[in-house]
């Protein structure tokens, strides 16, 4: 029950942030006609998995990630690394691991999402 309240609260916060946020300039291309902040609504079931690297993403989360990723891996990266997603407490370095935790075959590899590599997680020689 507590999880439902927490997930519902996160969904409401995400919806409020999306409604109030201006469109992200230049980021529209990754997801075609739909801006990444709007695509982020599909990933509401992923909020818990985006905060805790040890949590198993829900089936609904994995289905949403798969749907976006199959359509456009660049869009998935843009959504997972968006400012909107961060505003609800999702950690980008954790969010980009969700496709792997969902066992998706076609996914960003390691801590790389498109041309972006999480600076705090780059391996040092």
3-state DSSP call for residue 54?
Answer: coil
By the 10 Å C-beta count (0-12 exposed, 13-18 middle, 19+ buried), 70 is classed as: exposed
Q: Per residue of the chain (125 residues), give pLDDT as tens.
A: 555 555 554 544 444 444 434 343 444 578 888 899 899 999 999 999 999 999 999 999 999 999 998 888 889 888 988 888 889 999 888 888 898 899 887 666 655 676 666 555 443 44
Phi and psi dihedrals of 93, rounded to 5? -65, -20
Please, what's the largest Cα pairwise distance for the chain?
Answer: 46
């Amino acid at each position: 029950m507590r999880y439902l309240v927490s997930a519902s609260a996160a969904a409401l916060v995400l919806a409020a942030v999306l409604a109030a946020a201006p469109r992200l300039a230049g980021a529209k291309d990754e997801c075609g006609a739909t801006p990444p902040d709007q695509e982020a609504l599909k990933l509401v079931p992923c909020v818990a998995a985006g905060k805790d690297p040890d949590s198993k993403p829900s089936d609904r989360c994995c289905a949403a990630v798969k749907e976006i990723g199959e359509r456009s891996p660049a869009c998935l990266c843009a959504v997972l690394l968006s400012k909107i997603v961060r505003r609800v407490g999702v950690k980008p370095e954790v969010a980009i691991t969700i496709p792997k935790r969902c066992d998706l075959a076609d996914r960003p590899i390691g801590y790389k999402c498109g041309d972006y590599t999480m600076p705090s997680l780059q391996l040092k020689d």
